[in-house]
Amino acid sequence: MSLYTEGEPIRDTKAPDGPIETRWERRRFSAKLVNPANKRKMTVIVVGTGLAGGSAAATLGELGYHVKSYCYQDSPRRAHSIAAQGGINAAKNYRNDGDSVYRLFYDTVKGGDFRARESNVHRLAEVSVNIIDQAVAQGVPFAREYGGLLDTRSFGGTQVSRTFYARGQTGQQLLLGAYQALERQIAAGNVEMNARHEMLELIIVDGRARGIVVRDLVTGEITTEFADAVVLASGGYGNVFFLSTNAKGCNVTATWRAHRKGALFANPCYTQIHPTCIPQSGDHQSKLTLMSESLRNDGRVWVPKRAEDCGKPAADIPEDDRDYYLERIYPAFGNLVPRDIASRAAKNVCDEGRGVGPGGLGVYLDFADAIKRLGRPAVEAKYGNLFEMYERITGEDPYQVPMRIYPAVHYTMGGLWVDYDLQSTIPGLFVIGEANFSDHGANRLGASALMQGLADGYFVLPNTIGDYLATGSFEKVDAGHPAAIEARQQVEGRIAKLLSIKGDRTVDSFHRELGHIMWEYCGMERTEAGLTKAIELIRNLRDEFWQRVRVLGDGEGLNQALERAGRVADFFELAELMCIDALHREESCGGHFRAESQTPDGEAQRDDERFSYVAAWEYAGTGEPPVLRKEDLNFEYVHPSQRSYK
Amino acid sequence: MNLTLRVWRQKGPQDKGRMVSYQVTDVSPDMSFLEMLDMLNERLTLEGEEPVAFDHDCREGICGACSMVINGTAHGPQKLTTTCQLHMRTFSDGDTIDIEPWRAKAFPVIKDLVVNRGAFDKIIQAGGFISAPTGSAPEAHSTPVPKADADEAFDAATCIACGACVAACPNGSGMLFTAAKITHLGLLPQGQPERDSRVVNMLAAHDEAGFGGCTNAGECTAVCPKGIPLTTIGRLNRDFIKASGKR
Ligand SMILES: Cc1cc2nc3c(=O)[nH]c(=O)nc-3n(C[C@H](O)[C@H](O)[C@H](O)COP(=O)(O)OP(=O)(O)OC[C@H]3O[C@@H](n4cnc5c(N)ncnc54)[C@H](O)[C@@H]3O)c2cc1C
Ligand code: SF4
Ligand code: FES
């Protein structure tokens, strides 16, 4: 049986055409408005309280909608967005260094390796400036200059200084801004917050998303919740690799359940591997820690020229015997090349046997020159907390010895397919933030995820969702509706099944093994043979999971192993789709590198003739091959070229 | 390393709970404290005993989820460090380690090491924000903020709402947490219009949620992983007196 079939192409019918600068304005004008008096009568479910979900729920509450918000953590403030370090982009051009909305748009389309929609990206760049204003008004303590104005820095892969930051904790500060706005709406009675609740199924009535099935993680109670529209802001799925920089609870369940109910899943294979993470120290490793990319502004990346030197302390390797390989191969961008390029270069030097540290899986990131040039206090002011974090984890002092870094899974560009209005292929189901696929193409630029999450949540969704809600009101549904009963039974059945297997392997042991398969065959470099093998391995492991997994306890109260088991079960299905997507895309682009498709000097080789499209996958039923639906990409403004950072 | 763990096990809110001893062997010094517990949980599962429940998510000291009293100290022996950032190299072969949940009236235990910290959200709801509905913001550069103020506000804003301060306080007070937010917002020009009502409302919510009063014991700041200083509480008190005077 072939791995997939091809169906009808798909189109985004919501983006206006005409001049790109005015598309968003025109869409906002053409969108229907909801009468203010009616807003109060409309309920919107928002799953997730990260930058995307938190900002959306707060804003929808301010607009007067009744909002029900969910997260699996004990407080909305703990969403994974809290961990973002480096910064957020915005085309403010405060530096007068040639930046503009158009340049941010251009950089993002190019950085995404020409696999994103121009209309979406332009809107993102336009809205970026409002985000900074909004955050400052909320009291987000961004870094400032002595004159009291906002400081910026340049960040991975850009030559202008457009990244706003709050020391190494930009995500935390932005999220607290959104969280506080959300709490204000909770206090006002506009948002009903349900922390420690996990969405486990989507409820569809008459073809529209009308609710979700949730499990109260404390009591184990399963309930059906209803609304006029459902927004998924449930984050990315990097944890399919087990080891990643994501928080331990990050998962694909919300979006995967929606996918199984008909929402198309776009570009699942586009994964971002971040070049600067702390290398793994042993088999006990439970997650990987990112060292902000901003470190590459001042740190220099190198490995020994000769493999024989790799065992020596860094200090014993003279300057002449060091290979500053990024500066050598990419003289124009040097240590600031985009993430995908920096990651693969690190892999290549390690594959040549020139890696440093345990298992030869590491490269140096050296601050000796920066300390000499700027002085230790200046380096400390910029990176102090990152250096401390590094020392805490490794026991080594980066002021004295160079850091060791290695690439790790960090972000997933793929996600549920959405149109320009951020609506999925299921009417009434909207998807925002990392959970959708929309703006980053095949590679996301640094500091652009925070921008996109907040753009979606504060400014885009609150405008576009009205156009949908204005077509209501919809028929009333309650727990007795056949669709709700069925969805609920699906959830209960799965939980009962997981608890009844009583096998001899833990959930984590399966998750780790799945992660190994994905990293090996669907990681930084992918091949036809490897991916074919991975699909087979994943299927076998999945069958084994459903026969041998052991989940103790019951479903009645807090049961963390049960939560993880459900998430891992969904990761298995996603993993297979990721490999199929990677296998079908016989080109290299952005974070997706197919060994068969490279230039003579080893760079990614796109194939625009055959692959200038979004691959949106339709679920065809358990055990059935998924259906590929293509959305053609057209470039009217930024003409596809081979990315070159040399 | 081989260690003896004495872990608080409590089935649910109604259960009385007790300490249970477990031996763990072959602990690597490079493991994090939570990885050591992962290892214990894997073993317990295979032996047919329910794993120890504990809160965690980011495992890099920023989400504030992890929360364990280790050998009597909230977040354990290392200064300025959350439980998840603690590494086993801090301990020695043969050690006995006691692991307990936060204990405070405002944070009831849910199961094992997991407590309910919803009371913190209640304090923020009462006024821990600047009212700036989306779309209403002026241009970011319209109000410069002196760098020193911005930096100090940032330092206070780094609180992760872990609750260690409450767990360490003999009175179970949430004052350091509350004061961190008062300080963050009170130092910024944007935070001035609501400054008086904020402190009054947040303190009322603090007391109502079952937190105790502050008697300047200073235990809170000693365990705070983000180094939130006691001076924030001084600032809160001054703001409160000023705000009360105006009423
Ligand atoms: C270490 C690190 C550093 C980063 N640094 C940067 C940076 O400097 N700049 C940048 O732009 N980007 C950065 N990123 C990326 C960026 O942080 C994320 O892409 C972004 O925060 C995602 O936001 P989100 O709102 O989409 O999802 P998240 O913040 O992941 O939130 C997901 C929410 O969904 C909830 N949820 C998930 N599943 C369910 C379910 N089934 N039921 C109920 N609730 C559910 C969770 O509880 C959570 O509230 C970084 C990422 C990492 C890992
Ligand atoms: S003040 Fe410190 S100890 Fe208290 S909640 Fe905040 S970070 Fe935790
Ligand atoms: S797990 Fe996030 S702070 Fe410890």
Catalytic residues of A: 339
Nearest to A556 by CA among A495, A606, A617, A616: A495
Residue A6 CB coordination number (10 Å): 11
Q: What angle (nearest 5°) sits at the alpha carbon of residue B220, between those of residues B218 and B222?
A: 75
Residues A593 and A284 sit within 8 Å (Cβ to Cβ): no
CA distance A270 to B43: 36
Q: Which residues of B touch A62 (CB under 8 A)?
A: 133-134
Q: Which of A51, A80, A412, A437 to mutate to test the pocket of ligand 1 (most atoms within 8 A of CB)?
A: A80
3-class SS of residue A272: strand
Structural domains counted in chain B: 2
Residue B46 CB coordination number (10 Å): 14
CA distance B37 to B24: 9
CATH of residue B236's domain is 1.10.1060.10
Cα–Cα separations (whole angstroms), residue B165 to A225, B65, B73, B159, B231 = 36, 14, 11, 11, 14
User: Does the pTM exceed 0.90?
Assistant: yes
Nearest chain B alpha carbon to A85: B62
Asked whether residue B34 is domain-assigned, the answer is: yes
Same domain flag for A374 and A286: yes
Between A291 and A414, residue with greater pLDDT: A414
| Interface probe with B: pick from A78, A145, A250, most Cβ of B within 10 Å | A78
**Does any CB of chain B come closer than 8 Å to the CB of residue A35?**
no
Least confident of A55-59, A558-562, B149-153, B243-247: B243-247
pLDDT digits (tens, 9 = 90+) for A504-547: 999 999 999 999 999 999 999 999 999 999 999 999 999 999 99
CA distance B51 to B20: 12
pLDDT > 70: what percent of chain A? Answer: 100
Q: Which tokens is A374 given?
A: 């700027």
CATH of residue A357's domain is 3.90.700.10
Band (A562; pLDDT cuts 50, 70, 90): very high
Q: Which residues of A touch B180 (CB under 8 A)?
A: none
Q: What angle (nearest 5°) sits at the alpha carbon of residue A77, between those of residues A269 and A131?
A: 70
CA distance A443 to A536: 27
Q: Which tokens is A132 given?
A: 């900074």
DSSP string, A438-450: -SSTTSPPTT-HH
**Is the peptide bond preceding residue A292 cis, with omega within 30 degrees of 0?**
no
The secondary structure element, H or E, covering residue B7 is strand B3-9
Same domain flag for B185 and B236: yes
pLDDT > 90: what percent of chain A? Answer: 90
Same domain flag for B52 and B73: yes
3-class SS of residue A63: helix
**Does any CB of chain B come closer than 8 Å to the CB of residue A181?**
yes
Quote the crossing angle between the two packed helices A528-548 and A560-584, to the nearest 10°.
Answer: 160
A564 pLDDT higher than 70: yes
Mean pLDDT (chain A, rounded): 95
Asked whether residue B138 is domain-assigned, the answer is: no
| Interface probe with A: pick from B26, B63, B89, B130, most Cβ of A within 10 Å | B63
Strand partners of residue A603:
none
pLDDT score of A156:
67
Cβ of residue A80 lying under 6 Å from some atom of ligand 1: yes
pLDDT score of B116:
98
Same domain flag for B7 and B63: yes
pLDDT digits (tens, 9 = 90+) for A428-450: 999 999 999 999 999 999 899 99
Instruction: Check A558 against B114: CB less than 8 A apart.
Output: yes
pLDDT digits (tens, 9 = 90+) for A155-213: 866 789 999 999 889 999 999 999 999 999 999 999 999 999 999 999 999 999 999 99
pLDDT score of A157:
63
Nearest to A295 by CA among A99, A499, A87: A87
Instruction: Check A78 against B63: CB less than 8 A apart.
Output: yes
DSSP string, A197-239: EEEEEEEEETTEEEEEEEEETTT--EEEEE-SEEEE-----GG
Same domain flag for B122 and B222: yes
Same domain flag for B198 and B232: yes
Same domain flag for B181 and B238: yes
Asked whether residue A547 is domain-assigned, the answer is: yes
Asked whether residue B7 is domain-assigned, the answer is: yes
pLDDT score of A479:
97
Same domain flag for A287 and A387: yes
Least confident of A54-63, A156-165, A401-410, A460-469: A156-165
Same domain flag for B159 and B99: no
Band (A384; pLDDT cuts 50, 70, 90): confident
CA distance A422 to A430: 6
- β-pairing, B96-100 vs B3-9, is parallel
Band (A243; pLDDT cuts 50, 70, 90): very high
CA distance B187 to B167: 27
Q: What ipTM was predicted for this assembly?
A: 0.98
Distance from CA of A191 to the nearest CA of B (A): 12
Asked whether residue A73 is domain-assigned, the answer is: no
Cα–Cα separations (whole angstroms), residue A405 to A148, A343, A391, A461 = 35, 10, 13, 38
3-class SS of residue B44: helix
Residue A371 CB coordination number (10 Å): 18
Band (A601; pLDDT cuts 50, 70, 90): confident
Band (A643; pLDDT cuts 50, 70, 90): confident
Same domain flag for A404 and A501: no
Give mean pLDDT, residues A386-411: 93
pLDDT score of A359:
87
Instruction: Check B111 against A558: CB less than 8 A apart.
Output: yes
Give mean pLDDT, residues A246-273: 98
CATH of residue B26's domain is 3.10.20.30
pLDDT digits (tens, 9 = 90+) for A543-557: 999 999 999 999 999
Cβ of residue A448 lying under 6 Å from some atom of ligand 1: yes
Domain limits for position B214: 117-130+144-246
- β-pairing, B96-100 vs B69-70, is antiparallel
Distance from CA of B184 to the nearest CA of A (A): 8
Cβ of residue B130 lying under 6 Å from some atom of ligand 3: no
Asked whether residue B230 is domain-assigned, the answer is: yes
pLDDT score of B11:
96
Cβ of residue B161 lying under 6 Å from some atom of ligand 3: no
Same domain flag for B122 and B91: no
Q: Strands, DSSP E only, in A159-196?
A: 163-164, 191-194
Structural domains counted in chain A: 2
Residue A482 CB coordination number (10 Å): 9
In tens digits, what is the pLDDT along chain B, a chain of 247 residues?
999 999 999 999 999 999 999 999 999 999 999 999 999 999 999 999 999 999 999 999 999 999 999 999 999 999 999 999 999 999 999 999 999 999 999 999 999 999 999 999 999 999 999 999 999 999 999 999 999 999 999 999 999 999 999 999 999 999 999 999 999 999 999 999 999 999 999 999 999 999 999 999 999 999 999 999 999 999 999 999 999 987 6
Nearest to A425 by CA among A417, A437, A435, A415: A417
Q: Which tokens is A295 given?
A: 């470190």
Domain limits for position A599: 482-611
Same domain flag for B124 and B232: yes
Distance from CA of A180 to the nearest CA of B (A): 5
Query: Given B130, B138, B158, which is nearest A169 (Cβ)?
Result: B158
Same domain flag for B80 and B19: yes
Same domain flag for A487 and A399: no
A336 pLDDT higher than 90: no
Residues A416 and A265 sit within 8 Å (Cβ to Cβ): yes
Give mean pLDDT, residues A456-481: 96
Q: What is the phi/psi pair of residue B110, to 5°?
A: -95, -50
Same domain flag for B66 and B28: yes
User: Given the structure tokens 């989306």, which residue do they identify?
Assistant: B134
Cβ of residue A55 lying under 6 Å from some atom of ligand 1: no
Cβ of residue B33 lying under 6 Å from some atom of ligand 2: no
CATH of residue A505's domain is 1.20.58.100
